Structure 1
Amino acid sequence: MNGWLLTAGSVAAATTLIHATAGGRSIVRPLLGSEVAAEPKRTLHVVWHMVTVDLLLSSIVLLVLAFATAPSTVLVLFIAAQYLAYAVVFLIVTLAADWPRPLFQLPQWMLLLPVGVLALIGTR
């Protein structure tokens, strides 16, 4: 068993759960109830669910690979790169905004970054 991948997969699974529940309430419901035009609204709704699927599948893969006798390094590196890239995007967008305490306005990076780092460590 690879404890690093197990931890990365567990954090990724928790992130998926938070995304689907809390994010659904605070992001999707207000979006769907907004005056945004139908096409961009539905496109953003689809993107929301695409992210949910991506988070879910990557957490499952990390958990399965944690118990594999020879986990695929390429696959783990791909998932790590995704999570690290997602964290960087959140940090760039957050820091570019003119908000007080910007790192806490969009805190998603705090869940994404550890998954990427733990998965990277898990390839050693």
Structure 2
Amino acid sequence: MNGWLLTAGGLATATAVIHIGAGGRSVVHPLLAGPLDAEPRRTLHAVWHLVTADLLLSAFALLAMAWTRAPSTALVLFIAAQYLAYTLAFLAVTLTASWPRPLLRLPQWTLLLPVSVCSFISTV
């Protein structure tokens, strides 16, 4: 068993659960009730579900690889890079907003970065 991958998979699973539960209430429901035209609203709704699928699939892959003798280094590095890219996207959006305490306003990066770090460390 690879403890780093197990940790990354557990964190990724928690991130997916939070995304589905809390994010659905705080993001998707207001988005669908908002004033956007139907096409961009439905496109953003579909993107939400694409992210949900991605979070669940990557969590499953990390957990499955945690129990294999020789996990795919390429796949683990891909997932690590993916979560790092998500982290950087949230940080870029957050830090360019003119909000007080922006890092706490959109804290998703705090869930994404540890998955990336643990996944990367598992390959060293």
What is the TM-score normalised by the length of structure 2?
0.99
Work out the CA distance in 2 between the residues paired with 1:115 and 1:99: 26
| Shift in Å, 1:35 | 1.1
Q: Matched residue pairs, number? A: 124
1:45-97 Cα shifts (integer Å, max 9, x gaps): 00000000000000000000000010000000000000001001100110000
Q: Within 5 A, what are the aligned runs for 1:1-124?
A: 1-124=1-124
List structure 1 segments (4+ residues) > 4 angstroms apart after TM superposition. none
Work out the CA distance in 2 between the residues paired with 1:30 and 1:71: 40
Q: Give the counterpart letter for 2:75 in structure 1.
A: L
Structure 2: unaligned runs, 5 residues or longer: none
SS at match of 1:54: helix
1:2-49 Cα shifts (integer Å, max 9, x gaps): 000000000000000000000000000000011110000000000000
Structure 1: unaligned runs, 5 residues or longer: none
Work out the CA distance in 2 between the residues paired with 1:121 and 1:32: 39
Work out the CA distance in 2 between the residues paired with 1:4 and 1:42: 37
| Shift in Å, 1:122 | 0.5
Alpha-carbon RMSD across the aligned residues, in angstroms, is 0.3
Work out the CA distance in 2 between the residues paired with 1:24 and 1:98: 25
